[in-house]
Structure formats: structure tokens, C-alpha cells
Structure 1
Amino acid sequence: MLTLVVLISGGGSNLAALLEAAESADFPARVIAVGADRFAEGFDHAEHYGIPTFSVAMSNFVNRDEWGDELLEQIQVWKADLVVLSGFMKLLPPRVVEALSPNIINTHPAYLPEFPGAHAVRDALAAGVTETGASVIKVDNGVDSGPIIVQERVLIEPGDTEEHLHARIKPVERRLMVQTIKDIATNRINLKEL
């Protein structure tokens, strides 16, 4: 059974989908802790399933590296097989990525390498493109620049707002994340080879 620590920053809709999938007896992974960079609404999902939570606020530290060291310590307490960044809106310091690599993945609401960064949906609309997508990547030290594990296109419809487009991307992102975790757990995906 693959064990997971999931890191979030907000409402945790991807986390909720993963926790729901993990309720199935044949799903080969379990979330054992949920962390955040601040108190996050998504902790409610963890609480509903009896999953422990932790938060490490950057504002409590002198610099990013000290924050990263504490976050890494909190993650490593759980000895999880995989760390999943799911709506986690902070860039991890290089030593955190290196300590967790290759067993750290991220979801992103764009068809990478198109539209990396925190405003992917807004950026896609501003660019006037006809399609965007969702991606799951292995995390590296760049901004959404790691090796792509899986991705899928999502069409942009005339009149789409950021909110409407994001609402159509999220289910695709959730499905890809859940399938990727299943494939890692069943050795269909080997993160070391990416």
C-alpha cells in the first residue's frame, strides 16, 4: 500500500477526490497526513476522514530555507512513500525537493510547459488560445518545470471566464492525479525513470 502526504494551500478539492478514491478497498494508496503552508479550508476534508493535519506558515520563519527545513521535518515524520502537491501554492526550496525526490508529484491546471505558475488559467485566457489542459508532473527545482507524467487537453469555450474554465479543468486534474497515484502504486509508473 502506497502511503501519501498531501500538501495543500486552499479548499482541497483535489484532496477530497483522492480521499474519496482511497475509500475504495481496491485503491492501492492511502493518505496518512495532510499539510499546508497556512491553515487551509481543505483540512476539513482530512478531518472528515480522520487524517492528521499539520501547517507550517512561512511567516513564522526568517527565510524560505528555514521554512522549508521545518516543512521537510513535518513531512518526514510520516515516512510516506509519496508526497503530493495538490493546490500547494508555495515553491519548495531546492533542499526540500532534493530530500523528497523522486517521490514528489504536483498537479497543475494547464498543459505544461504552457502556462506555468500560479495564474495558469488566467494566463491561458489572456493568451487567447483555444485550449489549455491539466498536467501531473514530477517536481523539480523549477516552477512547474519537472518531467511530465500525464496530461490532457481541455478546450476553452467562447465566453469562458477564469472561474468557468477552472471549474472544467479541475475534474480532469483530479482524475489524472488519482490515476497517476494508482499507477505509481501498481508500478505502472516508475518516478525514478522520469
Structure 2
Amino acid sequence: MGKPVLGILASGRGTNLQSIMDAIAEGQFSAEIGLVITDNPKAKALERAQMAGIANICVERKKFAKREVFEQSLIAELRKHHVEHIVLAGFMRILSPVFIREYKNHILNIHPALLPSFPGAHAHRDVLAYGVKISGCTVHFVDEGMDSGPIIIQAAVPVMDDDTEDTLAARVLKQEHIIYPRAIALYLDGKLKIEGRRVFIKE
């Protein structure tokens, strides 16, 4: 039986992609990254994939008149590379119900806040504006809502009085690089059971 094949969707620097590649290299879990897709031709994630010898492609949203056609292109590329499981690593687009149903309960995402608080694209800004004392990150299954899928694991970090968005983001990112590979390992090992909104970890 072959290794599970992951498809990584990213839009930016690719640091979570790197943490996943490192985790595979270190034997934290057994998987193959079949394809890295970005929607941003300048994404450093493309460089990271190229340097690692991983198939990669940029599919720009602006080249498609409709989101449905854009997403069908994504799905076609994923199928071409035999991808079974989707890992969102800083992919800055909301996926439609059509895409999500195609990979139901097989899409993982990491969000830089303690969901269900502060969903959306500006989590660190919102955290600081609200004045909370604890923030963190969340790995969750992706459903048809905005950062609303069942939560797998979370990690907390303190919010300092002198934090900026950048300093808070850097502290949270360190935890992202720890918990995302851990969550992927649990998922691929079949140790996650979804019941309603709750995810149970089977030992």
C-alpha cells in the first residue's frame, strides 16, 4: 500500500509547507506531497517546493471568469497528481461548497487564532484590537463556513502589552509549526473521530 498523497495549497511564504516537509523528512508521519498549488506567482511556497523536487503549479484566480471554473482547475490538477488529502497552508481564498464536498472531511486548515474567536483574514489585528490576553492557533477540518469546521488541536500563546501584529504573528507561527504536523499525523494515522462539532483523538 502506497503512502498517502497530500496536496498543499498555499499563497505566501510557505513556512507551514516547510514545517510539513521537515516533519515528513524526520519521520513524524508517512506521506508524500503530491502537489503544491499556489494562487500567487510570487509565493515563496513555489520556491520551497521546487527546491524539494515537489511538483508545483500556480493557478491564478484572476485568469478565470468564475470561481467555479478556477476551483475545477484546482481539482483537475489535484486529481492529476493523485492527491487524496488537502492541507491548506496559508491559502488565502475561501473554498466553495463544491470544492469542499469533493474532499469532505479530507481538508485541514490552520488558523492563527483560537477559534471560534477571531475567524477571517485579519486574526492578529482583531486579537490586538479586542484586547484579549491569550491568543494562539487552531488546526481544524474545513467545512462550508468561515473557519468554522470541527477543531482538531489548538495551542495558546500570551499576548504581550507591547505586541504588534508582526510580533504576535511570529510567536503564534512557532506554535503553528509544531501543531500542524502533529494534527496531520493524527489524521493520517486514523486517530481522529468527528462527532458533530467535536473531534475525538483515539489513542
- The two structures have a TM-score, normalised by structure 1, of 0.94
Match of 1:150 in 2: 153
Equivalence map 1:3-14=2 (5 Å): 3-14=5-16
Equivalence map 1:95-134=2 (5 Å): 95-134=98-137
- After superposition, give the CA deviation of every residue in 1:75-98 in whole Å (9 maximum; x if it has no partner): 222222310001000001110011
Question: What is the aligned residue count?
Answer: 194
Q: Which amino acid aligns with 1:69?
A: Q
Q: Evaluate the alpha carbon distance shift between residue 49 and residue 192 of structure 1 in structure 2; reply closer, same or farther with a 3 A threshold.
A: farther
**Is 1:29 aligned to 2:68, yes or no?**
no
Range with bigger deviation, 100-109 or 18-27:
18-27
**Is 1:61 aligned to 2:64, yes or no?**
yes
Q: How far 1:45 sits from its partner (Å)?
A: 1.0
Secondary structure in 2 aligned to 1:42? helix
Q: How far 1:133 sits from its partner (Å)?
A: 1.0
Q: Which amino acid aligns with 2:29?
A: F
Q: 1:162 aligns with which of 160, 165, 168?
A: 165
Compute the RMSD of aligned alpha carbons: 1.5
Share of identical aligned residues, percent?
35
**Is 1:185 aligned to 2:188, yes or no?**
yes
- Listed as ranges, the gaps of 5+ residues in structure 1 are none
- Listed as ranges, the gaps of 5+ residues in structure 2 are none
Cα contact 1:29–1:181 (8 A) shared by 2: no
Cα contact 2:34–2:82 (8 A) shared by 1: no
Match of 1:16 in 2: 18
Match of 2:93 in 1: 90
Match of 2:175 in 1: 172
Cα contact 1:103–1:191 (8 A) shared by 2: no
Q: Which amino acid aligns with 1:107?
A: I
